[in-house]
Structure 1
Amino acid sequence: MKRKYFGTDGVRGEVGQFPITPDFVLKLGYAAGRVLVDHDKGHRPTVLIGKDTRISGYMLEAALQAGFTAAGVNVLLTGPLPTPGIAYLTRALRLEAGVMISASHNPYHDNGIKFFAEGGRKLDDTLELEIEAMLDEPMQTLSSANLGRARRIEGAADRYIEFCKSTFPNDRDLRGLKLVVDCANGATYHIAPKVFHELGAEVIVIGGDPNGFNINDKVGATHTNAVRAAVLEHEADYGIALDGDGDRLMMVDREGRLYDGDQLVYIIAKARRAQGELKGGVVGTLMTNMGLEAALAAQGVPFGRAKVGDRYVLEMLHANGWQLGGEASGHILCLDKHTTGDGIVSCLQVLEALITLDTDLATAAADWKPYPQKLINVRLSGQDWKSASADMLQQAERALAGHGRVVLRPSGTEPVVRVMVEADEAGLAEQWAEAIAGAIRQAG
């Protein structure tokens, strides 16, 4: 059954526009609370609510709190905390669910609601559908005697800091490293600098002064010029760029070269394989560069492709019994360390890998060469793009066999189909991307 409100990662949109309005979020909290109560009869559930640094977080936090308590659910409030911190505390406190108020890497005028199930796991499709069904039912506030309570908890940030540090080996430290840490003016502003400093690094912070409006504004994992410039200015060893809710990671070396999620996953896999600690293979997505697949194959490491989105990477990892996966966007999953993607934890795994390999980012990634890519977004005007592209797609796949691949993917938010061609020669990638895009346009 198709979901009505939930996307690939919760409910998200522009604040003040449906569904990111106080009345809908109130009802969403109530619906989720009712589902929790129905699943746990005889026991009053408790939910953890965190948020990033957007100004709208105050409003949406209050609406969610009201909805949950109206359904008879107790609420714990953390204030600003990274998304993976909410996942961790949901598990550590043995709570029935966790909720994060964030629109991740989006600008401040967007926001969203992301749910974690018991154990800090992503909410599965069945529960999302149950919540959506409850949203269509009238809201009936419980009697005063049965309402939930809400309170703020102290020390949430400190607990999460200690958890992040625990994922790094006790017999190793970061002494001697100078790190630029870009917190994107987001939820890691009071977390990430302390983690790296307490492990011994000299830390220079940028994007660490949130004001409610500057989250992801020209800083962070989606705007890496800031961290690159700071690394060069301060002659740092590495730059670490996180996004607004702390689940993405990009890194920069001392020369200002950028390393995306594909490259960082490769470095982690390479070090774990060298130590005999890589369980199974690595999962990427349909958009993962073929260069990663080829480099892993050369190391004898299996590789699988999931649909785009870290929830699908997670599903394939669980299905295969593997532990490591990610996306070029910087979502990296190390399931032996955490139940979800975590930018800080992922960075610590990269730094540990570099210590293990006794090398730096440039050398560790030198044997993986990205294939040239050509991406064209073709706007649709009602045409059947699958039929229109079928013949040209077959020709392209025959021509690229063993040398590249084609991915056609419709956008989930606009009338566009994305034509991506990858090949070992840039000219081949551009030639076949233009040919397929042209065939789709002609049919419009």
Structure 2
Amino acid sequence: MGKYFGTDGFRGEANVNLTVEHAYQVGRFLGWYYGKDKEEKCKVVIGKDTRRSSYMFEYSLVAGLTASGADVYLLHVTTTPSVSYVVRTEDFDCGIMISASHNPYYDNGIKLINSKGEKMDEETILKVEDYIDGKFEIPMAVRDQIGCTVDYSAGRNRYIGYLISLATRSYKNMKVGLDCANGSSWMIAKSVFDALGAKTYVINAQPDGLNINMNAGSTHIEVLQKFVKENQLDVGFAFDGDADRCIAVDENGSVVDGDLILYVYGRYLKEKGELRNNTVVTTIMSNFGLYKAFDELGVDYEKTQVGDKYVYENMVQNGHRIGGEQSGHIIFSKYATTGDGILTAIKMMEVMLEKKQSLATLTSPVRIYPQVLKNVRVKSKPEAQNDADVQAAVKQVAETLGATGRILVRESGTEPVIRVMVEAETKEECEKYVDSVIEVIEKKGHCA
């Protein structure tokens, strides 16, 4: 990760850590960088979520891009995966999404997308950071070289048409709940499900610039759980602020997270003989119960670092078809280059309708193990992690659990914190084993 950009873009509180000047500089660099070796102007497409500050950052990016000679196409309020789709299918040099995903309204972010619809490569991002830090200057466009802006809501509409085309059956007579988190999906999701014939029930689709993710969406799934049960719906889907995540709720109001979605669709592909390499890509945070369920099915799995970026890299390198995170970032590589919440909902509907089974039935073979995760603030992450006594304590827990659970100790990528996680048969066991390792970290004087 760089100085400004993390695994999911340049993110921070609007006008505190992420300012309009930062956005202008990002635009200036990208407009120059992608246009310097071309005879024609470079083309950049921009989408944004519903935060109040998204408009401010959009205008600032546009000013920087056009000042460097780029033509800018505005999708307006739309989802991150729609920007990715438009970039890769319509010959843009790059794309930008203005969003802080599931964060509160006062945060915002700038996500950069390459011409293939993937997250921007590290090398280019480091060049953006060098320009922000004033390490070099770039020329201004003048006269007819100055760029222009284009209203490009047509691109968003084409994306909606693409999603609709992926459904294999009509949703007629299906009662579907959608929690749009007062974010990017607030118009798109309903349009898709209505077009497919569902009886659509929508909540949290009244964005006011300040209520994105507020007691809504995939990070507050209890709201949709209650809504599904009260209205006796067949299924519910909750998205995050920029709709690249989806968490489902079955007809009983039970949560179907990313792990269970991976199970349902991985099994479906295997049964159809379409699970390429017989493998599903997960992260190290996926539940132990998912792996046991895959073992019983004879499905192989990969484990990557936490982050959909790493999941996607693994999928590309090895040609895998499906991968994702517990948090609901699910990537279907045949259809998209990024996590897409609405696409995930469509794929879950496909399995339910093709197999004529409810979501509760489809997830029933998986037993999700209790999990306890505790963070320990430390002086030095490497020293705490590599301490021989700490490693011995972790090894002791792993040996005690054997095939009935697991322990994972890892460093946070963003904080001075060691995360200790245990999954076991009972919550009490999890607590006991997590505390036994933390006790050693404390005794050895690593705590800050």
Bucket of the pairwise TM-score, normalised by the shorter protein: over 0.9
- Counterpart check, 1:143 vs 2:107: no
Tell me the equivalent position of 1:10.
9
Moved more, 142-151 or 20-29: 142-151
Q: Is the 8 A contact 2:385 2:411 kept in 1?
A: no
Q: How much has 1:300 moved relative to structure 2?
A: 1.3
Give the Cα separation in 2 of the matches to 1:236 and 1:323.
30
- Counterpart check, 1:228 vs 2:229: no
Structure 1 residues 415-430: aligned runs within 5 Å: 415-430=416-431
Give the Cα separation in 2 of the matches to 1:58 and 1:167.
31
> What do residues 68-96 of structure 1 show as CA deviations (whole Å, max 9, x unaligned)?
11221111011100000111111221111
Pick from 278, 291, 298 the counterpart of residue 296 of structure 2: 298
Residue type at the aligned position of 2:160: I
Tell me the equivalent position of 2:339.
341
Residue type at the aligned position of 1:407: L
Give the Cα separation in 2 of the matches to 1:289 and 1:374.
11
Unaligned runs of 5+ in 1: none
Moved more, 234-243 or 397-406: 397-406
Tell me the equivalent position of 2:166.
167
Tell me the equivalent position of 1:401.
402
Query: What is the SS of the residue equivalent to 1:210?
Result: coil
Structure 1 residues 192-203: aligned runs within 5 Å: 192-203=189-200
Residue type at the aligned position of 2:200: V
Give the Cα separation in 2 of the matches to 1:285 and 1:52.
27
Q: How much has 1:98 moved relative to structure 2?
A: 0.7
Residue type at the aligned position of 2:132: L
Tell me the equivalent position of 1:122.
119
Query: What is the SS of the residue equivalent to 2:331?
Result: strand
Give the Cα separation in 2 of the matches to 1:265 and 1:130.
36
Q: Is the 8 A contact 1:104 1:244 kept in 2?
A: yes
Q: How much has 1:258 moved relative to structure 2?
A: 1.0
Q: Is the 8 A contact 1:56 1:111 kept in 2?
A: yes
Pick from 30, 34, 37 the counterpart of residue 36 of structure 1: 34
Q: How much has 1:400 moved relative to structure 2?
A: 2.8
Tell me the equivalent position of 1:153.
152
Q: Is the 8 A contact 1:271 1:356 kept in 2?
A: no
Structure 1 residues 85-100: aligned runs within 5 Å: 85-100=82-97
Pick from 269, 272, 280 the counterpart of residue 272 of structure 1: 269
| TM-score, L = length of structure 2 | 0.94
> What do residues 148-171 of structure 1 show as CA deviations (whole Å, max 9, x unaligned)?
1112123233212111112212xx
Residue type at the aligned position of 2:405: G
Tell me the equivalent position of 1:75.
72
Unaligned runs of 5+ in 2: none
Equivalent residues, number = 439
Give the Cα separation in 2 of the matches to 1:266 and 1:301.
10
Residue type at the aligned position of 1:284: T
Q: How much has 1:207 moved relative to structure 2?
A: 0.7
Give the Cα separation in 2 of the matches to 1:175 and 1:185.
26
> What do residues 146-205 of structure 1 show as CA deviations (whole Å, max 9, x unaligned)?
221112123233212111112212xx1111111111111001111001101111100011
Tell me the equivalent position of 2:322.
324
- List structure 1 runs of 4+ shifted beyond 3 angstroms: 424-428
Query: What is the SS of the residue equivalent to 1:121?
Result: coil
Q: How much has 1:34 moved relative to structure 2?
A: 2.4
Tell me the equivalent position of 2:440.
439
- Counterpart check, 1:378 vs 2:376: yes
Give the Cα separation in 1 of the matches to 2:63 and 2:138.
12
Give the Cα separation in 2 of the matches to 1:368 and 1:72.
54
Structure 1 residues 236-315: aligned runs within 5 Å: 236-280=233-277, 281-315=279-313
Q: Is the 8 A contact 2:32 2:138 kept in 1?
A: no
